[in-house]
Amino acid sequence: MKIGARNIKTAIAVIIVVQLFIILNWDSPFYAAIAAVIGMQNTVENSYKVSINRMIGTVIGGIVGFLLTILFGNNTIIIGLGIILVIAICNHFNKVNAVVISCIVLIAIMTNLKDKLPHIYAIHRVFETSIGLFVAIIVNKFFKIEKFKIFK
């Protein structure tokens, strides 16, 4: 079995993100680690492209989710209307590659609030995503790793 450079770099990026959150005593690194996995692509250029779309989608979903929660609460009809809205916004700005993450962030904000304020939750999602993407790009750019075999 061959383990490629991207595989190893992805693991390194996730380790760095999780360890950073532990060291800084921040809440769960879950969203940052996911962003690191998504941001790690086969080239640094592709990591930039994916990261830009991920951030755009996160911001759109975060803003819409925050506004809808503040204005209308988080009932299921509003969540559905929010999905329609973020897809329309992404399509309007020709950001179709940001549609899925926009919807996911909107859903996360509108269903995971529990004891958190919507604006704080939305800001945390954007911040955590940016950390994960930043780490993925840095690891992809500066870690030079070759493939190796662990089994014949």
Q: Indicate the domain borders of the chain.
A: 2-144
Measured between alpha carbons, how far apart are the two ends of the chain, in Å? Answer: 6
Residue 149 has pLDDT above 60, yes or no: no
Q: What is the pLDDT of residue 135?
A: 97
Residue 61 has pLDDT above 60, yes or no: yes
Percent of residues, the chain, with pLDDT higher than 70: 95
Q: How many residues does the chain have?
A: 152
Give the predicted TM-score (pTM) of the model: 0.84
Long-range contacts of residues 99-103, Cβ cutoff 8 Å, at least 24 apart: 99/57, 100/57, 101/53, 101/54, 101/57, 101/58, 101/61, 102/56, 102/57, 102/58, 102/60, 102/61, 102/64, 103/61
Q: What is the pLDDT of residues 85-137, one digit of tens each?
A: 999 999 999 999 999 999 999 998 888 777 778 788 888 888 999 999 999 99
Residue 147 has pLDDT above 90, yes or no: no
Q: Which residue has the tokens 């991920």?
A: 54
Q: What is the pLDDT of residue 45?
A: 94
